[in-house]
Structures are given as structure tokens and as C-alpha cells.
A and B are shown apart, each in its own frame.
Chain A
Amino acid sequence: MDLKLDHHTQDDTEIVVVEGEIDVYTAPRLRELLIDLVNKGNFHLVVNMEKVEFLDSTGLGVLVGGLKRVRAHDGTLDLVCTQERILKIFRITGLTKVFGIYESVQEAIDKRASK
């Protein structure tokens, strides 16, 4: 399936809900959304990837780009993902050490609040 993007505010965090496939064709849309959110002053992002069916290195790059942008404002970009097939590419590339990866949106929000 194609890529569906949605976002909403929960507590003081912007939750980005991603559904479908993130690849070389669809990744630019996610990139544009992340840039737009940051430009509008949202520096604490959680990307919910529970409904992502496919993620490749292009998608990883977009997430890394988003992380870089929020960090420039002392912000955070955490991920929600429990799917092994999606987590695998984070492990292969070593990005599990770069992103905070949580099992739920609430856990991601709570972890940041406790820091």
C-alpha cells in the first residue's frame, strides 16, 4: 500500500502516525511533513511506526534527517515500533543506538518527561 501520514498533539509532543510503505518513492512526503512540523515549532516528535509495512534505508535517512533537525532545537525524535521486520533494519544499520525506540506512544512520552 501507499503511505498514509497523520499527526496530532498529545501532551507537549507531536505524534506522527505513519501507515504503509516508506521507500524511495514515498519517503519525500514524510520528509516534507517532518520539516514542516519542525518549521512550525514542534521540536518533540514521536513517530508511530506500528502500521508501517515496509521501511528501507531511504526512510531511515529521512528519520535521521528529522532527528538532526529537532536536535538543532534541543528537541527529540523518538520512534514507536514493535515489529521485528522493521526493527531489523535499525539493528543492521546500528540506528537502534541513535533513536529512542519504544513500544507505545505513551511510553515514549513518559520516558522523555522523566529525563
Chain B
Amino acid sequence: MALVQLTISALPAHVRTARLMATAVARRAGIAESALDEIRLAVGEACSRAVEAHRAHCPGRPITVELIDGTADGAAGGAPAQRAADTAAPSNGHAGAARRFEVVVTDRAPAKEPDAAGTDHEFTGTGLYPGETTPPGGVSGLSPDVGLAVIVGLADEVRIEPGDEGTAVRMSWPLEAAA
């Protein structure tokens, strides 16, 4: 398993950087060209969501993007550093399981409760538009959940893990499908 880790400030311009890096690492891992577009878009959505959450809650804190080439099937889970160090990564007892390309975008904004949908990202003045506040729902005016819906539609496997320290969006694609 090989890991590339990227830490970005919560700035919209850096979302593109994360997309480009994710695409480059995925291409090197052997992902099919058709899936590269999916990865690029899904990573962009996850990072955009994280950036907007940080700008609302903790603009000074960084966002982490991990690009993992060769996780075992179903290996998503556990602390990132621990997973990165665990080269065996047998997650669920499936020895020789299919290998995957996994992307984990971890923010440090407060995770919302399931029944508080739509209330966690309130944009109150640190807007991206000069001279005006960001509209409800962020830059687009759409709910951040739309971005998550897009991710679910694009990634082969998705896990969204809210925690005390923020939310991790884990997305993965099978490497075998690229052959």
C-alpha cells in the first residue's frame, strides 16, 4: 500500500490542487481513464464541502486529503496514520481481497447530528463574494448534502464518518476494474 497525503488550508483555490493531485495519483495507481473523471469530481466535491464547513467553523485549521493506492477491499476505517502504517491491512478477514484506490478527505469542523440536517453549515459573512455574505447553502446556494449525493453517485464505495474531531469522507474504487 502506498500513501500520498496532502494538507490544505480551507481555501477554494486549493480544492483544484487536491483534484489534480488525486487524479495524478489515481492514474499512477492504474485506475481506468473513465474512472479518473469520477475520482476528480468526487474528490472536488468532498474538498469543497470540507472547505465550506471550515470557512464557517474553523477557517484556520487544515483539511487532510489522503490518497491510498492499494487498500484491501473493505479496508476503509480506523485512524488514517494507523492504516497507512499497516501495510497488511486485512480488514475483514478476506485474505487476498480486491485492492482498491481509496481517497479520504478529513475535515475538522463540527459534525452535525443526523436530525440536524441543513443546520450545520451556516454561512454568516466570511463569504467568497466580495462585499456580500455567502448565501445560505454556501457558494452554490445548494445544500452541502448535494455534494455528498454526487459523491455517492460517483464513488464505488463511500463511507461518511462523523466524529468528535470532524468528518471523514472515504471514497474508493476498485483497481481491478481499471485493467
Contact = CB atoms under 8 A, between A and B. Distances in A.
Interface residues of B, number: 27
B118 interface: no
Contact of B48 (A31, A32, A58): A58
A25 B141 contact: no
B121 interface: no
Contacts, number: 80
Nearest to A92: B153
B129 A57 contact: no
Contacts of B142: 57-58, 60-61, 64
Contacts of A105: none
A53 B40 CA distance: 11
B174 interface: no
B12 to A, nearest CB: 4
B138 interface: yes
A24 B150 contact: no
B177 interface: no
Contacts of A65: 140-141
Interface of B: 12-13, 15-16, 19, 37, 40-41, 44-45, 48, 51-52, 128-129, 137-142, 146-147, 149-150, 153-154
> 10 tightest A-B contacts by CB?
A61-B140, A25-B12, A61-B142, A92-B153, A24-B48, A58-B140, A24-B12, A85-B37, A57-B147, A61-B141
